[in-house]
Amino acid sequence: MKYSFASLFAGLVFGMGLIVSGMANPEKVLGFLDIAGLWDPSLAFVMGGAIIVGLVSFAVARKRTLSFLGFNMKLPTNNRIEKRMVIGSMMFGIGWGIAGFCPGPGLVALGAGEIKGAVFVASMVAGMVLFELFELFERNRARGDSETDREFAGSDAA
């Protein structure tokens, strides 16, 4: 129950921060991304503040074994930059530049009843489903290849 309340509180604070900062406004975001035109640098301060909060939070979290709510800490352990992460980051940036939304502001816009938000969130969910289907296909293909390899190796032994 305390986890649910903490999640609700964090979501509300995050959503309000997106609204107050202008991150939920696609026109403001596109103005920030338009560095060759009428560039609006104000969101750089929002991002800088978020980076500082993140750095401090992770520094504190690395020294703890339990969260403030008493749960085990689950911090990322992989720090390798992989091809799929680079491609995913590029797709994220392209989508952000086209729509003016990233996932958090898209959900805020959906909650505000904006059609653009609904279209963005529907597209985001479709992308997640496609990703999961691709991953399932790849796992099944890899499993099939290894079974084929075992069958082939077994036929050599006979």
**Which position has the higher pLDDT, 113 or 29?**
113
Q: Look at the pTM and tell me if it is higher than 0.75.
A: no
Express each pLDDT in 32-77 by its tens digit: 888 888 888 888 888 899 899 999 999 999 899 898 888 888 888 8
Per the structure, the count of domains in the chain is 1
User: How many whole angstroms separate alpha carbon 106 and alpha carbon 84?
Assistant: 23
Range of the domain at 16: 2-157
Q: What is the pLDDT confidence band of residue 15, given thresholds at 50, 70 and 90?
A: confident
CA distances (Å), origin 86, targets 6, 124, 158:
32, 18, 46
